[in-house]
Chains A and B, each alone.
Chain A
Amino acid sequence: MTFAPLALPSLADLPGVYTIRSGESFSHPLALSLLHSGVITEADVRQRPKSELALAQAALSRRWEQITAGMNLFDWNLRIEQAPEHGYPQYLEEHLWALIQTGGGPVTCAVICIGRAMEKLESVRAGLGQTVLATLYDAFRMLPTVCTPRYVLGVAEYLYWYGESDEDEAIKQALDMGGYDTVEELLASEDFFTRDKFFSEMPEWAAQPRRTLTRRQIQLAAGRDPFVREIVDAMDAVWNIVRFYGPFADVRSEDVGADLIDFGLLVRWSEDDMVGRVLDDFLHHAQEGDYVIASSVTPLKIVGADMADWLKRMESTGMLAKAVERVLSLLADFQEPRTLVRVLV
């Protein structure tokens, strides 16, 4: 007779979970694609994932962590979903959508104001702030949507001014339809959004900056001020990444066929600018039509190495984003040194 405690019978070779796949399920081809393209590693499989979905989730989460590690301004979360059935012709059933979105939904991203820092740059050398901003905007075009004064001006043109650069055409139409005799009467009786209102708290170049200075002029300015030096060095780092660390993921989300209503970051001139008002109107308008809650949508083929290639490119894009964050952090943190007042006692 033995008094050894009974061991619980192990069913070591039995699966802990069965998954009943529906005909529309993409977890199997996705897991297969990630396995064949090396995104799912041997270690992932050895951990006995409870399903193909869990396996794909674990592998993608690890890669996404690597891409976003160290980010402190951009809010990038990855969502993989089936491309809509009735989308554009190129988005066939065998495609997935890789969406980048904020964790908390539209406009829960971080907000930074750059107006004071830009004014400081302009005070060191006229055109310096504008040149830095123009370069930054170029970098933003390579990232999931960043809401900037330029972006919001485009929204205002689309939303209020029939795609024109100002309100003239919209006023003409309102006069024709609304029974007003004069423009003044119209503006007095309706909350008509004008270009002047948009730029009441910021210069026009905040939305449409140009590179007005040469590299030599910028270097000279950097030599005169430590803050400018920091900005120029940080911009140089951005440039180096763009030049040497590509290719980058195409996150422009063109031809999605719907408004994107999420942003990785909101860059404002100041808290008093008109960005908030325009965005409110835009979100209200978007929700009456087709919209996608994402700052970026990339269609990817389920089979093959599309997903793995995209993740690889996103590593470069992530690196670029972190370099851009460095510039933005400097701009956001800028405070004019306080003037010390000697108090005589």
Chain B
Amino acid sequence: MTTVTIAQENDVELALDSALLFYRSQGTNHIYATQHSARVVDGKPTLLAGVPITLDQLADIADLAARKTSYRGFIHDRVVYLAPNLLAWWVPACTRRVWFNTKDKIGERAGDATHPPLVFIVNRTTWSVFALRENARPGPATKLYTAPYYNVWEGGEICVGNVKTPDAINTESIKPYEDAFFRSRFTHSNNDRLIHRRGGAERLWLDLLDGADFPLDRLIDAKQTLAQAIGSSTNED
């Protein structure tokens, strides 16, 4: 009797083991879950009789899932909120180089400019930015202001365009997100009301590129707190 061996030790094989079935009624919050063993019988995957799932078992499942979905590691000092697929962090006021390629008076220009303190909120589908009046770590009740940047919609959502954003949402993606925002060219305004001042955002950035301080008192109220903004992101998630 001769044998054939394929020495392939790197693959991990996961055999069918069990299934969870959920029963829910339309229009109510009632939900009932059963756990079933699943086996291959006569070559066909088959669901065996189930048992009601207990809260303890549900907690075990949640724990297993959390090990894969939650972040484990050192906490970034600018992170203000972290959940699976959701991250919010703030950026203190600073001077940073920006690039423009617009059809207005700014045109194709790059240079150092002062920036207001900012908060970024990222979830699976959207990426938003807001400005802050105080240059301090924001809390849940901190009021948010419209970030007066081109390529940002009224609700704070950033128009990504062809900018490459990180594949994962975790604290290691903070720098890539910031680079994607600040180091790409701002091209057009998506919001008519970016700042309270004559000449609007166009005049603002021309002044900032010429070395003006950022006028924090001219920021427009976004009419929501940080907790509300994160809450709406969580609902979307």
Overall SS of chain B's interface:
strand
Which of B3, B8, B45 contacts A12 (CB under 8 A)?
B45
* Complex contacts, A64 vs chain B, CB 8 Å: 2, 4
Question: A10 with B11: in contact, given A17-B16, A61-B4, A78-B3 (CB under 8 Å)?
Answer: no
* Complex contacts, B25 vs chain A, CB 8 Å: none
Across the interface, do B45 and A65 meet the contact criterion of CB distance under 8 Å?
A: no
Question: A20 with B5: in contact, given A8-B41, A10-B45, A11-B38 (CB under 8 Å)?
Answer: no
* B48 and chain A: residue at smallest CB distance: A8
Which of A10, A16, A22, A48 contacts B15 (CB under 8 A)?
A16
Closest CB in chain B relative to A306 CB, distance in Å: 15
* B45 and chain A: residue at smallest CB distance: A11
* Complex contacts, A27 vs chain B, CB 8 Å: 6, 8, 11
* A103 and chain B: residue at smallest CB distance: B3
* Complex contacts, B5 vs chain A, CB 8 Å: 77-80
* Complex contacts, B8 vs chain A, CB 8 Å: 25-27, 53
A42: interface (CB < 8 Å): no
Question: Cα distance A75–B3 when bound, in Å?
Answer: 10
Q: B residues bordering A, Cβ < 8 Å?
A: 1-8, 10-16, 19, 38, 40-41, 43-48
Across the interface, do B43 and A48 meet the contact criterion of CB distance under 8 Å?
A: yes
Question: A19 with B4: in contact, given A8-B41, A8-B47, A11-B38 (CB under 8 Å)?
Answer: no
A21: interface (CB < 8 Å): yes
With A19-B13, A21-B11, A80-B7 given, can you name 16 additional A-B contacts, CB distance below 8 Å? A11-B45, A15-B45, A16-B15, A16-B16, A18-B13, A19-B11, A19-B12, A21-B10, A27-B8, A53-B8, A56-B6, A64-B4, A77-B4, A78-B2, A78-B3, A82-B7
Size of A's binding interface in residues, CB under 8 A = 41
A14: interface (CB < 8 Å): yes
Question: What would 18 A/B residue contacts be, using CB atoms closer than 8 Å?
Answer: A10-B45, A11-B45, A15-B16, A15-B45, A16-B16, A16-B40, A17-B14, A17-B15, A19-B13, A21-B10, A47-B43, A53-B8, A64-B2, A64-B4, A75-B2, A76-B2, A77-B4, A78-B4
Question: A51 with B44: in contact, given A57-B4, A77-B3 (CB under 8 Å)?
Answer: no
Across the interface, do B2 and A53 meet the contact criterion of CB distance under 8 Å?
A: no
Closest CB in chain A relative to B82 CB, distance in Å: 27
* Complex contacts, A9 vs chain B, CB 8 Å: 46-47
A320: interface (CB < 8 Å): no
Across the interface, do A11 and B14 meet the contact criterion of CB distance under 8 Å?
A: no
8 Å CB interface, A67-82 against B: 68, 71, 75-82
Across the interface, do A60 and B6 meet the contact criterion of CB distance under 8 Å?
A: yes
* Complex contacts, A77 vs chain B, CB 8 Å: 2-5
Residue among A9, A17, A19 with the highest chain B CB neighbour number at 10 A:
A9
* Complex contacts, A18 vs chain B, CB 8 Å: 13-14
* B16 and chain A: residue at smallest CB distance: A16
Question: Cα distance A15–B40 when bound, in Å?
Answer: 9
* Complex contacts, B13 vs chain A, CB 8 Å: 17-20, 50-51
